[in-house]
Structure 1
């Protein structure tokens, strides 16, 4: 473990934005993490960095950055129908999905190619194509920052919601996730009804459905829509899809007949934020070194030398225009720092 000073974070965020950390430590074991926490001053600001795929850096960071590089994947239990897989928080999420597919562990194939790490997955309750982390989650272990104590969290204690958990609400900034246990199926329950999965499988001429085929289809869909951060700086979907009351949705549908909506429980409807942003005229717009991606209006991009503060300003302009046109507030999914 090495304490470094004045470290560039450009290589550690998928937007590719230049910002410096006053102090930086990469930890590879829990003991190194505990040692790093003991080194901190009581009033020092802390940033935990995983894959850097869900942050927008708008300035230099005056505190200490702890880069999570905890690695390891192991089968810890199994019965006739399920396996319990423990993955360390610094593992790459997509590589974990591929590992599960290779071992015929089903349940995460619809979550292929989502950027980020294992530790960020439950924090965000990541989801795609009809599956969320809460559907395959068993438990996680985390270290309390102030005390250094280990604690296990069950699914109920994580309080999963749409792209959120207790670690983004009441316990925000209080814990560092070190490992996650997933409960996966030995016999797959194929989920092909969401989005263009079935259409893509048909185009791929898949004769025998498998978790690998679903993963391949999801990868193909995502690659056709979303830019590769290695080529164009971005953090994937920048905004959450808003949820409104059914009565408000019916009112909007009278004014905007083509507005899509997905009915949820408790008389709620989820509206695709991408549709709202496109209808507000932002899709494909460029502003110097930044802009809104031409294929997916939910994705804000850095074309090379953009500034985080400019992307933040663009995001808030988009929010304001959507609110003015539809009366709907869209909330960033990305953490703005």
Structure 2
């Protein structure tokens, strides 16, 4: 087991133990994320954690592993979470911890450390902004799984895809991509928002009344467009589809869209992600860029929210909001048959 040297805390200079500060109802903040490998030897064990219990064929794991190995076996997500935690420390007002679902530092280890540090109640910021089983409900399941007797109460903060801080960060990054294209003589780019595709059956059951995943993404895209002074036309397309071909997933795929669009140039805006992790740098920066190059289609990709100051401040603002109401038990149910990775 690796040590918890990647857990970030505030330290009391007058004592050797960690000092628990109190802001509002929370005395700590936990950034809860997906996790990712940090070297070639990590890749397969990480992927096995991701798909545990889902019956994914070994050959499919090896195929996905090649995506990671093409980047040295390193996903950017862990370093980007470290950067986010460091950016949050001056503004959170409480100790900031970081834990993952699928790789070190594992959430359960971090929560045990929080208990030892005397944390009583922590806000949980999931690095996923929208409704859905994988993007929300599964984080509630993670919280239930990693909670320990006598440990802190963990409260997941609400969806934030429509929060002004998220919208401002995405608008700024999209503006930068538009300006870069304009400098190359392409000032008529079409905005193409992307998000992780999910099975249609999961999309239809997202949220209390269904359909909330796609509806929230469309609303976020609309707000970013408005912030840029650009009404429609813009598009919402999907990426990172996986699983057997007989299972319907949200479409169109971003590469299929690029092959059919009549836009003179495009800016891909990964609205469904908060950091430039593997699915962004492979599916967009590698595969989609290759397709655009083959078509002679000028393309830029906007950055994700990352550590944009307005996004960082948003996390603190979420902590100041009233505690979210628990989701209904019928909200975003687990898939009856898990799709392959």
Where on the TM-score scale, by shorter chain, does this alignment land: which range?
A: under 0.3
Higher helix fraction (1 or 2):
2
* TM-score after normalising by structure 2: 0.27
Which protein, 1 or 2, shows the higher relative CO under an 8 Å CA cutoff with sep ≥ 6?
Answer: 2
The structure where strand makes up a greater share of residues is: 1
